[in-house]
Amino acid sequence: MQHITIPQSRREFLAKSGAGFGAVAFTGLQAQYARAAVELPKPKATIGTQAHFAPTAKSVIFLFMEGGPSHIDLFDPKPELNRLAGQHLPESFGTVITAMGEFHAPLLASKRKWQQHGECGAWVSDWLPYTAQCVDDMAIIRSCWADGINHSAGVCQMNTCSILGGRPSLGSWVTYGLGSENQNLPAYVVMQDNRSSVVNGPRNWSAGFMPAVYQGIHLQEGAQPVPNLNTPEGISSAEQQGKLNLLNTLNRSYAMQHPQQSELDARIRSYELAFRMQAEAPEAVDLSQETAATNALYGLDQKDTEGFGRLCLLSRRLVERGVRFVQLYHGAGSKWDAHKGIEPNHSKLCAAMDKPVAGLLKDLKQRGLLDETLVIWGGEFGRTPMSEQGDGRDHNPTGFTMWMAGGGVKGGQTIGTTDELGLRAVEDRLHVHDLHASILHLLGLSNMDLTYFHKGRPERPTVNEGAFFKKLVTG
């Protein structure tokens, strides 16, 4: 006969009642997984079931060029800059403050060769010959701007909409708002192209003040992105299940005593997810299933492009299987930060990134996935038209370029302008708040209606600012 303990105080009664309701919810969740395993081997939620309005995208791939790529050497040609090269910034531009303080260095010419591409005639430099083939699918936004002067603030804002740490990342807000389409894979995945530390580290994909379950899952580079996924040799399924059951019992017992610790709840769920991933993740990350033609499209057959090509191909496989938000860091460790020697720096990075990114766009399109997958490219800021250390460029958050493709975005257009030297955005200015609001809108989420109550106040993903940039879909 089961022993029933009678609560001795109101506090104990509420605690045990709450735990009981939690058990009910957990049982329902487990039943949902059981039903999915029997009825739907790869469960798919109907697109837009939790959205505020009809979405045009159901997943996102954010290609983050960490360190700040130079827009005036890639997508935004400035003939006037080359004409005035060697001279100082005209007085009409006023005082310019960068990460290095007040700037008085002479203007630095761009050595790039420019050409118009596609039916739309978009300008792209010779550093990106493969990306140039895809401009008819892209909306190139030349008028982005941000508030962060240094990398920490810039990367933080591009991920969380604030230069101050502690807020949820964009991927966390998307996961909170829409959930996952595949219960056996993470909803939010982060990968990087090398082992260098990304500026701010895990804070970039953190859930901030929201429950930790919404944070991004960081996968490793190389042939085994998910470490320790397979059951060790000599351990039977029954033994593995027994260990997990014991660990689950201990964790839940502790969680009942410390309900305020969302990190423990996230850990419990991560173990549950890891167990389910053992059935599906190995197939999802197994690139050996891809054809030689697909590998060549992403550049896996070349040394310079193999690393990032692998991540781009893996991204396609993940969104194909229902992962909601994938973020790739290229140049992890601020490798795009060309304060000196921008020519060798950007030449190497573009060579490693260009073909894989174009391959991703082409592959998504030929598989019919680009219409529902929003691809975003850009860094935390751009570079200045003034020189630094003679042959480099400093940080420039006041005007830079990003582009979007797919997910309902109208391709073949160039939006906005910077001034004649590429220093400041002047027409159709798009702040990071607007950028995030637009991404959320394409996913069917209103940046002002998506709220999470924290310390008694409603928090929103764009810090109560920003609006959908309609030209992205209307042209």
CB distance 279 to 43 below 8 Å: no
The pLDDT value recorded for residue 39 is 31
Residue 50 CA to residue 175 CA, distance in Å, equals 11
Position 6 confidence tier, pLDDT thresholds 50, 70, 90: low
Report helix, strand or coil for 19: helix
Query: How big is the chain by its Cα radius of gyration, in Å?
Result: 24
End-to-end CA gap in the chain? 71
Rounded to whole angstroms, how far apart are CA atoms 212 and 277?
A: 19
Give the separation between CA 397 and CA 387, rounded to whole angstroms.
16
Give 389: exposed, middle or buried? Use CB within 10 Å, 0-12, 13-18, 19+: middle
Chain centroid, CA 355 distance in Å: 19
DSSP 214-270: GSPEEPPSSS-SSTT-SPPTT--HHHHHHHHHHHHHHHHHHHHH-TT-HHHHHHHHH
Asked if 418 and 142 touch (Cβ cutoff 8 Å), the reply is yes
pLDDT at 227: 60
Judge whether 475 and 138 are in contact, CB under 8 Å: no
Q: In which region does residue 261 sit, left (phi positive, over 0), alpha (psi from -120 to 50) or beta (all else)? A: beta
pLDDT tens digits along 321-369: 999 999 999 999 999 999 999 999 999 999 999 999 999 999 999 999 9
pLDDT at 217 over 70: yes
94-128 pLDDT tens trace:
878 776 665 678 999 999 999 999 999 999 999 99
Q: Can you spell out the DSSP letters for 81-121?
A: HHHTTTSPPPGGG---EETTEE--PPB------EEEETTTT
Identify the residue with better confidence: 313 or 44.
313
For the segment 136-157, the average pLDDT, to the nearest whole number, is 98
Tens digit of pLDDT for each residue in 363-390?
Answer: 999 999 999 999 999 999 999 999 999 9
Among left, alpha and beta (phi > 0; psi -120 to 50; other), residue 165 is beta
pLDDT at 10: 52
Residue 20 identity: G
C-alpha–C-alpha distance, residues 130 and 123, integer Å: 13
- Answer with the residue of higher pLDDT: 412 or 236: 412
Q: Which pLDDT does position 42 carry in this prediction? A: 30
The SS3 assignment for 382 reads strand
What is the rounded CA–CA span in Å between residue 390 and residue 105?
9
